[in-house]
Structure 1
């Protein structure tokens, strides 16, 4: 059976969903192909949604245990990990139902199956029910996402070895967990599992945690992880892994051996392009399974576009939505479409981290003069009331024009707080100034008030 469309999107995650809906709203006949039984992509089923729902449950536990009203607290070991994940499934179901409604309302045809190109304008779909379909189109938008990188030397079929997808299916409560890879995902899970009372060994092959962050924020994250009982090991490289029915032993190139109940491998991701039969289109993915695109999200083949994790940085759902809209616009011939070049970083550790703009190191290396304004949450009334007094808001600004150059936040609701500063930073002319925070009356008590405190702190340094 064959079908013809104006545009076909491969992958129903945030990027694909956004592209399909944008194309449909502009009158194009659209199909979307998803290799899972349900829409939502890896974001909904394996990544952002379940991990953040899990984090929310652990965050409430940690906050309860640290609140002065509850002196005895709750033993984290009382919480059963599989039971928590059953509750997470409720959120996933709600997300799937909502997204299915989007496709229905916009009359987007959804095909569940594995897509494989047959030429630049057609694709074969092996449907989950076994039927083979042929779809043709003017334009393709590849949004097939990514998956955890799995080195051949590690047996991921072993019951005590996980990656960031399979960890959410863990059916036991390990007392000690090794996390290899201290990127964003590794640090987030180190926070989550230490919050559940597990002993966590976080192995980092770099000099410091999350080197792209402002140094002060990276240091604060390291301190908080250690304060929660996480053992952080820097400059370590994997050598081999030994497994038994009862435990695992990680051997490092430095000669160290770490024994634990389970291993979580969080060292890189690969684009899901290996099953697409790209060769027949003239496209070639790189060694990480990623595709190269131009400023219009167009690949080397004019009618094939790519968005989301499959093109690499920034690999964020927030950016993927914007990429989807831009790619759909470019595919229908719009001359100017936005290329997503700057996004706020959101890292959901406990507490969370968010930043936008330049870091102190970047400004120093570029010989750009700057000054710093800080607001420590322990001095904010709202943080004192909620018991979330760990963290700070940090503003970097030009000492002459007072123009905002960077915003860095570590603490409760950081991923929400950062967008206030981002909005001001994106203003043109005199609107982009820390004076806005001094002249504006903030609700009291709020976490947003930290901007006023930080701005005044920075101005005081100029006197």
Structure 2
């Protein structure tokens, strides 16, 4: 039996983050993963695919597999540098301090002072449209495709669904996006969502909102589908981008004392502690979306707390990125939900079509929003639609975390021409509103 300070079960982004941060703090760490290190990241390769271009035969998919191996090797190098022991095998909890690891018919027990669960989640099927791996697909099944379908329907206008329709539209498929809600990306800034919906329509992505599937009929490798409202059409593939169910099969031994939610998610507090002493949980096994940024931060917080550092996860400091065309990146409060947290919100907004950078490059679609608290004049939110949004949002997260004022953001130097000018101009608009120079009427 091997003894460690911390054992991490699951080698996705959350597990890697927890193991690496614990290793950096000097802990003896064991990371256990049944497959390739990277976990859900590689099962959600469409994000990598978007960066690789348009497929030509099987070349794109072969190229992605080479990139996967390179990224996996890089992660292995990182955990080795931190002296993390990596074990390949199926891990299952024995109790709150021991994990049974089975590999190639051989069992071994890993003992640890603290255990961090990062076992991820799996897609939930719609009973009327069960996954078949051929025509009715989960997001994870996208990696099995070797041909691009001529027509495809994505059910679910969440982050995953919107990224998938963007990918297949870029690849030349005729794309439909269906959701029973009235707008895509629930919870995002309404003006940014409205702008993205308009851009999707221009890209000939068919938005079928306030609609849900009623029936399907599969024949000759295609699917006849009927939505409520008697909307009927035929498609080659359907991808169900719905809810996820936490992967908790390895936790049976501690199930009696482990509080779970409706979708089997492990319930944790803001310190990532479960209801079982000594067991922490991070990533989508806790019921959050399988988001790399949130998983990475959750892993960091869990590692520190497992070593007695006393940290909490603040969701307002963790950005959300949606890889649509153009991208969406957001962090913190919106102008419409800030009052739930006790803020009096003031918003500055700037349209990127007036940016020097946009005029020069032709990237005219975009929106920058800065949200501030009227009392403290501190930045409490930033929301960006446009090219490069994912690369600008980290600075916004740091601005909020450090409690900087809008004036600090407006005074930051930036190159010319650059997209970041949009952030500065939105900050100046927000300052004007804070000072009463610009009314909301």
Using the size of structure 2 for normalisation, the TM-score is 0.90
- Matched residues in 1 for 2:342 and 2:102: separation? 56
Within the candidate set 109, 112, 127, 2:88 is matched to 112
Aligned length: 434
Q: How far 1:416 sits from its partner (Å)?
A: 1.6
SS state at 1:360 partner: coil
C-alpha change, 1:364 and 1:29, in structure 2 (3 Å) is: closer
Aligned ranges for residues 21-170 of structure 1 at < 5 Å? 21-36=20-35, 38-43=36-41, 45-47=42-44, 50-58=45-53, 79-80=55-56, 82-127=58-103, 129-170=104-145
Residue 408 of structure 1: CA displacement? 1.3
Q: Relative to 1, partners in 2 of residues 1:332 and 1:410: Cα closer, same or farther, differing over 3 Å?
A: same
Do 1:274 and 1:289's aligned partners in 2 also have CA atoms closer than 8 Å?
Answer: no
Q: Within 2, Cα distance between the matches of 1:438 and 1:242?
A: 56
Displacement of 1:356 in angstroms is: 1.8
CA gap 1:278/1:424 in 2 versus in 1, 3 angstroms: same
Shift of 1:460: 5.0
- Note the alpha carbon deviations across 1:61-84, whole angstroms, 9 max, x for none: 7xxxxxxxxxxxxxxxxx437432
Say which SS state the counterpart of residue 361 (structure 1) adopts: coil
The CA distance in 2 between the partners of 1:121 and 1:402, in whole Å, is 47
Equivalent residues of 1:273, 1:285 under 8 A apart: no
Residue 200 (structure 1) shift: 0.7
Q: Secondary structure at the match of 2:180?
A: coil
Secondary structure of residue in 2 paired with 1:277? helix
For structure 2, the 5+ residue unaligned runs are none
Structure 1 gaps of 5+ residues are 62-78
Provide the C-alpha distance between the structure 2 equivalents of 1:21 and 1:400, rounded to a whole number of angstroms. Answer: 40
Q: After superposition, what is the alpha-carbon deviation per residue over 1:103-151, rounded to whole angstroms, capped at 9, x for unaligned?
A: 2223322221212222332222221x22222222222110111122223
Q: 2:420: which partner in 1?
A: 448
Matched, 1:295 2:270: yes
In structure 1, how many angstroms separate the alpha carbons of the residues matched to 2:225 and 2:87? Answer: 42
Bigger CA drift: 211-220 or 25-34? 25-34
Which among 303, 314, 332 is matched to residue 340 of structure 1?
314
**Whole-angstrom distance in 2 between the partners of 1:440 and 1:405:** 17
Closer/same/farther in 2, CA of residues 158 and 240 from structure 1, 3 Å limit: farther
The aligned residue for residue 75 of structure 1 is: none
TM-score (norm 1): 0.86
**Distance in structure 2 (CA, Å) of the matches to 1:93 and 1:35:** 16
Q: 1:187 aligns with which of 139, 162, 184?
A: 162
Structure-2 change in CA distance of 1:278 and 1:253 (3 Å): farther
Note closer, same or farther for the CA distance 1:226–1:380 as it changes in structure 2 (3 Å cut): same
Structure-1 separation of matches of 2:408 and 2:172: 43
